[in-house]
Every structure is written in structure tokens, then in C-alpha cells.
Structure 1
Amino acid sequence: QSAVILRKGCDQGCIECSSDSGACWKCERGYVKVAGTCQPCASGCSNCDSAGAGHCDRNGCGVGHGLAVSGTACKPCAGGAHCATCDAASGADVADGNAQALPCRTCKAGHGLESDGSCKPCEVASCSNCPNLKTCKDCLPGRVLQLQTTTDAQNVSTTMQTCLACAEHCSQCKKLGAGKCDPERCEAGYSLSPTGVCKACSSHCTNCTKSGPGNCDNGHCKPTYGLQGYSNCIRCTAEHCHVCDRSPSTCDACAEGFALTVEGTCEACADSCKRCTEVGDHCAECNPRFGLDDGKCFACADHCLRCQDTGPGQCDVGNCESELISSTTV
């Protein structure tokens, strides 16, 4: 048997090690385990489990950086902050590997790739995906891509891509088009009306997809409210009640730290109990820093944040306060 030491006392890059041999069992990000030790990845790399120490896995470089051909260096992306990926594509890209900055491969939403490997804003307003700056493939949420034709004073027609707005409170209208909303694409608290736009649910309701605007779906009143009929979410009158669909004065589910009685009221759980399924001393889940034993909550070890697995007076691995040591044996 040997004790598990967390951080304090372990070698650099190690977060869990044996107190007997010093062998590391778990390394920090940016390190890889080699023969019981933690060796650093390439500079700027967060993951090298496959590539090994001093190297970097594909997509393992930090934000705004890409992996050079050699696999041993993370270099800045030429596309800057708007570049999504710039890992060197293959061994043939030797120039990429030797460059100070790697050409961007894909850009972030709202930007397109230039021939020089940089990222520039899409020319079509509200476009989220433009393979080249002038051509839009998809619009930002709440907008739909359409072609618009305009005619100038000389009767010359021009057709252009444009991203038009959907109905208010709508995230997508690819099927029904601009000014409308696709089924089940209204924001929370709204539902699709017969005219194809999003209308509000009843007050204190979070979802009315089935029942329609002005109503509320069963089980979707906000906490401390209950559904009466098909439309009204009424505040619960029972103290500490979370759901009261039967009636405002009769509780169906209680708030955290309270148990439901057969009469439909809420009574407090025992001290240090987070969730109790029965009224009285029987607890199902304890508050932080307490462990469960035969339906009751007792304190964990000193300076311990959680002992749900090991039980009262002990401490779960990884749950000591910062920079302290767990003496759990394995």
C-alpha cells in the first residue's frame, strides 16, 4: 500500500504520485507520462499523448497556434485571432514548418480565407461561413441566405447574396424563409404561431412548443410555479415548494434541502443534508464537506471538500483544499 500525494511533493508536471516511489500516475496538461515521470510536450502544446515528449499531437497547440511539420513546435497562425486551424497539412509543407507563422487552414465564423493564408471578414454581412470572402455558404443564427436582385438606373440587374433576418426570437428559418421561423426553432419561452412567427408563452413559462403561444406545456412552469389548466403558471403558496402542478397550495416537488410530506408540504431535511427522500433523519445526499453514513451526514476529514466515496472522516482523492495532501491509501 502507498499513499496518493496530490501536487505537493510530486515532481514538476505531476498532479498525482506515489509517496513511496515518487512515480507519477497523472500528469498536468502539457506533459506526458514517461516511465513514471512527466516530460514536457513541445512549447505551447497542451497534449502530446500520441506524439510523445518534446512533440505535439495534431490540434494540440494552443489557440491561435498550429503544429509545424517537424511536430516539435507550435507556431503562430498567420490568420491571427480569427484563424481556427493552421496545423501544417503534410510533410510536403516544409516551407510551412520553417516559417515564423503558419498559413491558416480554416477561419472562425464570420471570416474567410485569403490567398496569403490570412483571415478577413466575410463580405456578405452576417455571414458565418465564407470559403472565399465574396461567397457565403451559411449565415449567422437567426438569419437565412437568399439571393436578391436589384436594378440600377440604367436598367442593369445585379444579383447578390444576402443574409436576411428570421422572425424575432427565432434561431433558424431555412425552410420558411426570411421573416418566418422553422418549427421548433423559437427561443425558450416562445412558440411558433400559425403565421410562422414566434409568439410568447404564458407568463412564467419556459416552453410551450406543444400547447402553443399563450399557453404552457406540462412541467415547464418556472421554479416555484405550477401549471393550472393549460395556460396559467401560478406561484406556489406552499413554503419551499419547487413544483405545484396539482394546486398552488399542494406541493409536488420541494426545493433542495426539503422533503415532500404526504400532505403535499415541505419539511426541512436534517442538518447538513442536501437532499432527503423521506421526512426526518434519512438523507440521500449530503452538503459539501459532509459524507453519508446510514442516512445521516457526518463531517469529512479536516480541509476536505468532498468525501462522498470514502465516507465521513475521510477525503476523496483530489478533493483536499489547495496545496494539501490526501493520505488516502490504495
Structure 2
Amino acid sequence: MKCSSSYVQVEGNDCIACLSGCSRCAFTSSSNQVVCSAGMCLAQYTQLSNSVCSRCPAYCDVCQYSETDATSTCTTDKCTSLYIQKPDKSCTACPGNCLECTYTGTDVKCKDMKCADGFAQNPVDNTCVVCPTGCASCGYETSSSTSPKCLLGGCIESYFQLEATKECKPCPSNCKNCEADSQGNNVKCLDQQCDTEYGLKPADRLCYSCATGCTKCDISSDGTATCRECGESYVLENSECKECPSNCKKCAWSTDKTICTIGECKSGYTQTTDEIKSCLECPNKCTTCMYNPTTSMAECTLCIAGSTVNSADKTCGDCASNCISCTEPGKCDTCKTGYRLNAADKTCEACDPNCDSCASSGAGKCDSGQCHSSYALDATEKTCGACASNCQMCDANGKGNCDSGKCNAGFAYSSSAMDCIACPTNCKECQVKDARKTECNVNKCDVGYGLKDSDKTCLQCPAHCQTCTDVKKDGVMVCDTCSSYYQLNDGQCAACPPNCLECSESNGAMVCSKCQTHHVMMDDKSCKACPSRCEKCSQSAGTISCTECQSSYVMDKVKACKTCSEATFDQCIVCTGADSNGKHECKACSAGYTLKDDKSECLSCSSLQNCNTCKDEPLVCDTCSSGYTANDEKTECGVMCHVCDGPSCDSLSDDNSTLCMVNSGFGCWMEMAVAADGVTTHSRGCSNVTCADPYTEEYCKSASGTTECEQCCTSNNCNARMLTGAATRVLCGGFWVKCHIAIASLITYSVSVLLM
């Protein structure tokens, strides 16, 4: 018997879970205990001298444990993502919607340009503020701005931007990318920018619905939709989407019906052997099953977690309560966290409610180092007791108390009370003066607040001021540093000019020294916006010109930024900038299209069914869709056949040779003939031999004088002409027929069932 990961085998061949926080453990028979193997503690745990994995302080990934004071300390720079380490080694959260922050000694501050997508950094307090509706990238125009505005080119999909106000306005329904005039009127969807299942009507540049099952279509001037690409569970036939058999993801069209492709049933279904290769639902709680043609039933081979296959009827039976996995319904092999396995009856028993593991201590109790955060183990009772309020750990001082240095942010540890006392308002870090009274530490007031000298509380700074000091010790706060977009001038924070990032005082006025992104400095030191879609720009005599376009745009001869489709032709996605004659050259087309040899247009690959990428040589398929392969001429994509090892052979007495059929598991076969002298040959290609009735639309081939005939789907021609190399053949029905034509023209049939 082999135990699964995080379990260990004990006497009696039972598998017992490792202690919480341990990935690999061992069982010590002398002490009858499970111990964690050296170096096998999980992240956010550290290993003690007794091999127990102890949880690190809150929000810490890697820590060290001190045997002297029985506490864990977070390793430098090892706080969990979105947290920052303070000087006392504790981890505190970054401000809301901030991806990366820093601890300045006075506060936790979001790093510049580290707000999450869709948020802008407030210049006053460095907090991250949500962008306006429809905007993915925004910022504050000035230090005095009360709300952010969208940056040029910063609108999300399905919105366009008004150049004058930078507002993001919605595109027409079901359009991903559109354009409008300078006033926001005459809104039109761009080429190939309609949502999936919609097509663009050239007459009004709006998006209209495709037919059912169609994901890409062309809309004519009269509103007629012609499909170019079908979605899952549909196949394209004469510009229409034909629905696959129920619960089939991919299929092929054959004369008057769809046939499910081998191996393309949806999850939770298995394929039958009927004419259309229909998909049969697996039993309840079953994730993987197989079709049994004898019973016409689906038999489960793999059940969901908490269930197991019933060997009698191949259905799924529930494991015992609170069980992760079992091999027998109603029993358990692996229990959930917070439960232990009762080896006698294979059931799961609950630990203490605030405990992860009690494998050694027993039901209702807890093992050493397994209590939840903010709980401590009672060594006598083997149960978990709560720490003091606002405390992260109390392992050393026990339940109801707190350990030194383990109070939450905004609280200080009282050694006499072994408790956590709240800091003054707007203070992040403080110390206990009396048993229940605190004073804020120097430089530990929140942003925009300063320390009052007399009572060590935090007072608000002057407007737009980040840090301030009680200089005269009279409670009047004097500004030291201003917020972003402001500059200290005569003890006050003066606003920089509009769209200015950095400024300084000159002759009593604030003069800009650096403009914000997507802006350029004019001769009068003011900041003006760059043209639409422009990343960088310059100005000369008051005229602004683009010098660099934003990503996905190219510059034309008049310095305007355009998409490649706008600069060249429809479906072009990569192109050069304008040459000396103002012309652009297309370099690549969008998926499903190929660049014509003369680079004059993007040709659609849709005329080549099941083709993913194509070339104009003339038009040939370069890469077929998944599950398909191209013929030698690359003009068609057929169902891909596979080969495998381990042939099963039967003797043919008529020519003393052996014909081997190798099942690939994908409904295809490789054929080879082994002669009496040991020479092996493979049948290739197809000779146009007509087989006897009632078999029609057959493709026949010979191997060592033996003619092979089979009935195949007209859409799956890979055995006829689609493949080269070792011959393969597609089996399209539930049966394949092998015709042995002997020298005496005696025809015999052997019929075998193909299990899909």
C-alpha cells in the first residue's frame, strides 16, 4: 500500500495525515508520533527543533523561530504579496488597490505608478482612486484636481475617447473598437471589431447578429449574414453552421448529418459507437467514464473528490463525511483539514474547532503547532484558546494574552497586561506609556498628520501637506513636504500648473519643470496634450507634432497615428510607418488571414475548411486547426490520424504472411504486412477498387496481395489521400469490415467491434 502525498504509512498499513503545514512526514514507532521530515514545511511555516511546523506571523511567507522567546519572526522582505515589512519585522497591508508599497518610516505608501489597473494615484494622499467609467488608465491633471481623468488612449474595450474632455464614451452595441468625430457624433464600429457572434454591416458600420452557432460572419447591405466561422459544437457547411450531436464539442458533416469527432465529447460524457458517435452522459458525480457496448451504459472510471467508483455497478458512491478521498463508499482514506482518520472504522473525527490537525492528540483536541492564527495550544487540555483581541500570536504567554511584538497594526504591546492597546487616532505605530495609555512614536502619524509634542497625539497638517512638525511645540503644525503636484512655497503648498508633474517657484509664481505623460511643454512653460493615440510629442512655435505613437499604432506622413488596418487595408495588424511617399507596407494579417504575395490585401483562410493559418502560393493551408492535418497539396485539412506501438497480429494462410492492425486509440489504424522471410511492408495510398455491395463510398488498398475494404465517412478522407508515410485509415462506424481476397477469389469476412 502506498500513501498519497502529505500522508504517512503507520503500523497496520493505515495512512495518517502529516501535521498541518508539512508536505512530507514520517512515523516514529517508538514515540507513536508523526513528525515532519527535515525541510518539508510548507510556505508560511517554519520548522521547530521537535520537527513540528509552526505557522509564521500573519501575512509572512518565510520566517525563523526563536527557541528562546518561543516566537517566530518574518524573514526580511518575505511578506506575502500586497504586504510590506515594518522595522519590527511584522507585515502590514499595502493601501487598497495598491500592488506594491513601501514603508517610509512614517507610513505605508503606495509606490509611484503601482496602483492596480483601473486606478490612479491621488497626489494628495497617494491613495489609489478608481478611474472614471469606461477608463482603464487615468491620472490627476493637476495637484488640485479632485478626481482623475482618463489618459489619452486609456479607454477600455467597447469605449472611445473624446479628445477635448478625455471622457470615455460607449461604442455601439456589440462593438469592441469604434471611432467618432471630434464632437463624439457619427460613431462607427471599426473593421473586424464586432463582438463574437456579430458581423459588421458596411452600410452603417454597426454590428448585427450572426446566425445561431456562428461566431464570425459577413453582413451584406441587405442584412443577410454569411457565416465564416462556427463556434464549439457546430461545423461550417456551405456558409451555414450545422449543430453537432448533443454534448459534442467538435464534429464533421456527412451528406445529411453531423458526426461527432472521436474524442470530442464534452467533459462528463463518453462516446458511443452508434452511427453519429453520440455522447452519453457519465453517471452522477463521475468526471471520466467509458462506454460499454454490451450494456449500452456509461461506466465510471474516475469520480469527483469525496466519491469513489463502486466496483459493482461502476457508479460513484460517497465517501464518509469530511473525507477527501476513499477507495470504498462510506469509508475514508484521507480526511479534510481539521479532521483525523479513525483507523478502525475508516471515518473522520473532528479536531478542536480552531485546529488544523489532531492526528496524534485525538478527536476534539489539537497537536502542537496546529492551532489557527490568534489561538494558542493549552498544553494540558490539548485544545486551542483565543489570544487577546487584536493579537496575532500568543504561543509564549498563552490564551487570553498576547506575545511581545505580535499586536496588529495600530496597537501596542503592554508587557504588564500582556495585552494590545490601541494607538492614538491617525497613528500607525505607538508605545505604551502607562498600563492602558499609548503615545504615538516619532514620524509614525498617518500621511497628512504630524506629531503634537505635548501629548504625542497626531494633528492634521495644513492643506495639501504630506508631513508636518510641531516646530514651536504649541500645537500649530508647520508643513515640511507637500503632496505630489504641489510645491512648498513660503510655508504653504502651492499647486503646480495644469498637467504639470513637477514645478518650482519663480518670481512669486509656480513654473512647470516637467509635464505629465502624454503632454508636452510649451514655450510659456504650460503643458498641452499630445495628439490622439500619441505616446510622445514635441512642439515648435506653438504647433504640436507627434514623435512616437502609442503601441499598436503607426505614424502617417502628416504625423497622425493610425491602426494598420486604417493605414493599409482590412485585417492588417502589423505594418511599417509611412515611407517618403507616405505609403505603409503591411507585414502581417490577423488570425485566419494571410498576406497576399503582392502585399496588396489580407486573404481569408475561411475557404480552406479547418485551416488555421494559410499562405498565398496560391492560397494553401500552412497550419490546420487542432485535430486536423493537411494533404500533400495543402489544399484541404482532414481528420488527423495517429499511430501507436504494440501491434496485434493474426496469420493469413493464403500467402503465409501476417497482417498487423495497430489501434491508435483515436479511431485510426496503421497497416503493415510481414512476409514469411521477415520482410515488412506498409500499405500506402489508395487504389480505386470498387468493393462489393452493400458497401459504398469505400476506399480500398492492398498490402501483400490482400485487398482491404472499409466503409468510411466522406468527410474523413485521410486514408484515401490526406496522409503520406505509413498508411492509416479512419474507422467511421461502430464496425470495420476486413475483406480477404484469396487467390481462388474466395471472399471471407471478419467483423470486429471498435470500442471508442
Q: Is the 8 A contact 1:251 1:260 kept in 2?
A: no
Distance (whole Å) between structure 1 residues aligned to residue 188 and residue 360 of structure 2: 59
Q: Does residue 1:140 correspond to 2:195, yes or no?
A: yes
Q: Does 1:55 align with 2:101?
A: no
CA displacement at 1:191 relative to structure 2: 1.1
Confirm or deny that 1:202 pairs with 2:248: no
Task: Kindly report which structure 2 residues correspond to 1:101-250, keeping only aligned pairs within 5 A, or say none.
Answer: 101-105=147-151, 106-115=154-163, 116-122=165-171, 124-130=172-178, 132=180, 134-137=187-190, 138-148=193-203, 160-173=204-217, 179-183=225-229, 185-187=230-232, 190-203=233-246, 205-209=247-251, 214-217=258-261, 218=263, 220=265, 223=268, 227-229=272-274, 230-234=276-280, 243-247=289-293, 248-249=296-297
Shift of 1:283: 5.7
Distance 1:86 1:194 in 2: 47
Kindly provide the CA deviation profile for residues 60-88 of structure 1, in whole angstroms up to 9, marking residues without a partner as x.
Answer: 2475x3125689243453xx222222146
- RMSD (Å) for aligned C-alpha atoms: 5.0
Tell whether the 8 Å contact from 1:300 to 1:306 is kept in structure 2 after alignment.
no
Amino acid at match of 1:104: C
- CA separation in 2, counterparts of 1:288 and 1:178? 59
Structure 1 unaligned blocks of 5 or more: 8-13, 89-94, 149-159
Q: What is the TM-score of this pair, normalised by structure 2?
A: 0.31
**C-alpha distance in 2 between matches for 1:251 and 1:319:** 43
Q: Distance in 1 between matches of 2:312 and 2:259?
A: 29
Deviations along 1:250-302, one digit per CA (max 9) or x if unpaired, are 614254355446666347465244444x45898665456546799x6644632
User: Residue 81 of structure 1 is aligned with which of 133, 137, 144?
Assistant: 133
2:126 is the counterpart of 1:72: yes
**After superposition, what is the alpha-carbon deviation per residue over 1:214-253, rounded to whole angstroms, capped at 9, x for unaligned?**
44343625647663423434466x7876634224346142
Deviates more, 1:49-58 or 1:300-309: 300-309
AA partner of residue 205 (structure 2) = Q
Shift of 1:113: 1.0
Q: What SS does structure 1 have at the residue aligned with 2:225?
A: coil
**Counterpart secondary structure, 1:171:** strand
Question: Which letter does structure 2 place at the counterpart of 1:303?
Answer: P
Amino acid corresponding to residue 119 of structure 1 in structure 2: C
Q: Distance in 2 between matches of 1:68 and 1:207?
A: 49
Question: Which one has the largest radius of gyration?
Answer: 2
| Percent sequence identity over aligned pairs | 18
User: Relative to structure 1, is the Cα distance of residues 207 and 287 closer, same or farther in structure 2, using a 3 angstrom cutoff?
Assistant: farther
Structure 2: any 5+ residue segments left out of the alignment? Answer: 1-47, 378-383, 385-394, 396-756
Q: Distance in 2 between matches of 1:221 and 1:324?
A: 46
Larger RCO: 1 or 2 (CA < 8 Å, sep 6+): 1
Matched, 1:4 2:55: yes
SS at match of 2:133: helix
Q: Is the Cα–Cα contact under 8 Å of residues 47 and 57 in structure 1 kept in the other structure?
A: no
Whether contact under 8 Å (1:6, 1:318) holds in the other structure is: no
The structure that is strand-richer by fraction is 2
Query: How many pairs align?
Result: 291
Q: CA deviation at 1:47?
A: 2.3
Separation in 1, partners of 2:360, 2:228: 51
Say whether the 8 Å CA contact 2:84–2:103 is kept in structure 1: no
**Aligned partners of 1:186 and 1:309: how far apart in 2?**
51
Structure 1 residues 251 and 86, CA gap change in structure 2 (3 angstroms): same
C-alpha displacement of 1:96? 3.8
Alignment of 1:255-270 (within 5 A): 255-256=303-304, 257-260=306-309, 265-266=314-315, 268=317
Q: TM-score, normalised by structure 1?
A: 0.62
Task: Tell me if the contact between 2:208 and 2:219 (Cα under 8 Å) persists in the aligned partners.
Answer: no
CA offset digits 1:158-182 (Å, max 9, x no partner): xx42323322233334799973444
